[in-house]
């Protein structure tokens, strides 16, 4: 995280009613990614996440330590993994009481979405946007 990132966050946070959260950077499969020409290291991701958490502890959402992920190239996740990330993120944020979806409580709408395919969820959420 650079100085400009922090200044931008402070500018938005101090002059807006928006609630900003910082989601962890998620892990990679280093063996698969190396064979595909990538060079991201989980230790670098962990260091960055630790800086995020220490800087924004009350606004930090850790997904990294809780996901099981599938990737074909080591870096980009399968649709199922992206769906797990979305579900985990919405569960963690809805636990704060900050999410409202289409005027309903987050639990009402998100519970109904749980078993639907990702593209169907996206279509429903586009018509019933969640606000934090």
**Pairing mode, strands 22-23 and 60-61:** parallel
Q: Taking the CA atoms of the chain, what radius of gyration do you get in angstroms? A: 17
Q: Which residues contact 81 (CB under 8 A, 6 or more apart)?
A: 67, 68, 69, 70, 71
pLDDT tens for the chain, residues 1 to 132: 444 555 566 666 666 666 778 889 999 999 999 999 999 999 999 999 999 899 888 889 999 998 899 999 999 999 889 888 888 888 888 777 666 555 555 555 556 666 666 666 666 666 555 554
Predicted TM-score of the model (pTM): 0.67
């Amino acid at each position: 995280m650079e100085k400009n990132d922090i200044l931008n966050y402070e500018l938005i946070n101090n002059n807006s009613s928006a609630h900003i959260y910082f989601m962890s950077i998620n892990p990679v499969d280093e063996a698969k990614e190396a064979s595909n020409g990538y060079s991201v290291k989980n230790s670098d991701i962990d260091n960055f996440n630790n800086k995020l958490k220490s800087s924004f502890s009350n606004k930090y959402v850790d997904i990294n330590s809780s996901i099981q992920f599938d990737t074909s190239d080591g870096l980009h996740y399968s649709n199922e993994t992206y769906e797990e990330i979305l579900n985990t993120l919405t569960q963690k944020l809805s636990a704060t009481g900050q999410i409202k979806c289409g005027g309903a409580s987050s639990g009402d709408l998100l519970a109904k979405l749980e078993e639907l395919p990702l593209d169907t969820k996206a279509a429903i959420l586009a018509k019933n946007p969640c606000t934090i």
